[in-house]
Structure 1
Amino acid sequence: MTTQQLVNQIESKRSFLCIGLDVDLTKIPQYLIETEDPIFEFNKAIIDATHDLCVSYKPNTAFYEAYGIKGWQSLQKTINYINDNYPNIFTIADAKRGDIGNTSSMYAKAFFEDLHFDSVTVAPYMGKDSVEPFLAFENKHTILLALTSNEGAFDFQINSEVLGSNGKELYKQVLETSKQWKNSENLMYVVGATKAEHFTEIRKIVPDSFLLVPGVGAQGGSLSEVCKYGMNKNVGLLINSSRGIIYASNGVDFAEKARAEALKLQKEMENIILHQN
């Protein structure tokens, strides 16, 4: 998917919602456990109920890998279902990969060529040669971890005692350095909603890039604050919500309740878009 196609989806749906498909079998309705593939059946119901309200789905691969080969098969069925039935949806493999060149090439082939995801999250710690293999794929996007929403982000990313030789926080160095890599136009960045006060500085460095923003909802991030400081002329944000939507109910009405929660966010986003200018 091209960036412009993603922008078109945002404009037509008046939404920049990304729904995280992080399936925990202990939290889904118990009647689904009796089905042949409970993870896929759960995802399918969520997708069918919410596809018109969001522009992206983001399965976190750990929630599938935890169940071995069956979990991986559920992931493959899920991405195939999205691509076959809702091909305009932007798909994110939240895998946080990143390794030496040859290994990264294999990771990229797995997610882009075999599973046919539009994007994958990648850790930048090993530098350019661990990320550029992902960037080599045309119309595929690499979402680099920049400033995450977890408490541990203060250990390195924004720790004033862990500054580089130029006196800049690590997350700023990641942003600035990554812009110099080959095919960097295919980069997006993860920036946590719980770090909203940093969005102004981030936009100075990457004014036009899309930012994947976790942390709204269950983690306490503010949608209005993120949009105030993080939106650009194309919106430029994908706001992720996982638990707050997919686990709105654990009863037979789980898909209906998930839609209701997604609709609340979509309406809030629509209002923000309409009043952006």
Structure 2
Amino acid sequence: MNRAELFAQIQKKSSFLCVGLDPDLAKIPAHLHSEPDPIFSFCKAIIEETADYAVAYKPNIAFFEAMGPKGWETLQKVQEFIPNDIFTIADAKRGDIGNTSKLYAKAFFEQMAFDSVTVAPYMGEDSVTPFLEFEGKWVILLALTSNAGSLDFQLIKDENGKPLYQSVLEKSQGWGSPENLMYVVGATRGELIGEVRKVVPDNFFLVPGVGAQGGSLAEVAKYGMNSSCGLLVNSSRGIIYASGGLDFASAARTEAAKLQAEMRVLLETHL
């Protein structure tokens, strides 16, 4: 999916919602455990009920690969079930020396046909650019994340007072373009989203941290939205675990609809 197609979906649905699929066997409703593939049944129901409101789905690869070979089969089924006009993100956080990255890219882009994959930038250019060689595919580069441990490295300043995350943003601009390079920018960082936007005015951001982690959707839009929206705001637990009962899918739909309604207003305000 290219940038124009993604923006068209945002406009069509008045939404920039990404639903994170983090299916934990210990948390999904008990009645699904009798299904042949409980995780697939759970994800399928979530997708069916939220696809009207979501412009992206983000399976967290760890929740699938922890189940071994069957988990990879389930992941493939989930990816194939997502409607073709919805952006797909393999949340794998890969990044290694060039030939290894190339094979990671082949796995997610060719074997599984995801639109994008999250990539860690710590090993530098030759660990990222192999992912950018695939036409029509996207790298979503970790930049300023929402976890507590992000403070360990991402805000360390160099001798000129520049934090590390800004160096990552600036350096990576020469690797890709706003047509194939997004950035992970956590919602819990508030006004720092605005600082990121100053450095990369045109790129899309994948924004975790809204919902269960306490990030403000209004602040994300205030500091991060650009003329083509430029945001995919992810909610995982707040949607998929809205209920642990028989009504889990309809409860997920209700929560997704609430976020979409707020997003509609923000789009009308900022665009």
Normalising by structure 1, report the TM-score: 0.96
1:257 aligns with 251
SS of residue in 2 equivalent to 1:233: coil
1:121-165 Cα offsets, whole Å, 9 max, x none, are 00000000000000011110000000000001111101xxx3234
1:4 aligns with 4
Over aligned residues, Cα RMSD in angstroms?
Answer: 1.0
- Kindly state the Cα deviation for residue 118 of structure 1 after the two structures are TM-superposed: 0.2
2:53 aligns with 53
- Kindly state the Cα deviation for residue 20 of structure 1 after the two structures are TM-superposed: 0.3
Separation in structure 2 between the aligned mates of residue 197 and residue 203 of structure 1, nearest angstrom: 10
1:214 aligns with 208
C-alpha contact 1:142 1:188 (8 A) present in aligned 2: yes
C-alpha contact 1:119 1:143 (8 A) present in aligned 2: yes
Separation in structure 2 between the aligned mates of residue 68 and residue 269 of structure 1, nearest angstrom: 37
1:41 aligns with 41
1:20-46 Cα offsets, whole Å, 9 max, x none, are 000001111111111110000000000
Show the 5 A alignment for 1:104-253: 104-158=101-155, 162-181=156-175, 185-253=179-247
SS of residue in 2 equivalent to 1:42: helix
Separation in structure 2 between the aligned mates of residue 255 and residue 45 of structure 1, nearest angstrom: 6
Separation in structure 1 between the aligned mates of residue 230 and residue 11 of structure 2, nearest angstrom: 11
2:267 pairs, out of 245, 265, 273, with 273
1:94-119 Cα offsets, whole Å, 9 max, x none, are 00000000000000000000000000
SS of residue in 1 equivalent to 2:191: helix
Normalising by structure 2, report the TM-score: 0.98
Q: Closer, same or farther in 2 for the Cα pair 1:91/1:164, shift >3 Å?
A: same
1:72 aligns with 72
Separation in structure 2 between the aligned mates of residue 183 and residue 77 of structure 1, nearest angstrom: 31
- Kindly state the Cα deviation for residue 184 of structure 1 after the two structures are TM-superposed: 6.7
Q: Which amino acid aligns with 2:113?
A: H
Identity rate, percent: 64
1:39-74 Cα offsets, whole Å, 9 max, x none, are 000000000001010100000000011111111111
- Kindly state the Cα deviation for residue 197 of structure 1 after the two structures are TM-superposed: 1.2
Q: Which amino acid aligns with 2:133?
A: A
C-alpha contact 2:211 2:238 (8 A) present in aligned 1: yes
Separation in structure 2 between the aligned mates of residue 265 and residue 193 of structure 1, nearest angstrom: 14
C-alpha contact 2:92 2:118 (8 A) present in aligned 1: yes
Q: Which amino acid aligns with 2:245?
A: G
- Residue 21 (structure 1) aligned with residue 21 (structure 2): yes
C-alpha contact 1:149 1:191 (8 A) present in aligned 2: yes
C-alpha contact 1:135 1:184 (8 A) present in aligned 2: no
C-alpha contact 1:210 1:237 (8 A) present in aligned 2: yes
Q: Runs of 5+ in structure 2 lacking a partner?
A: none
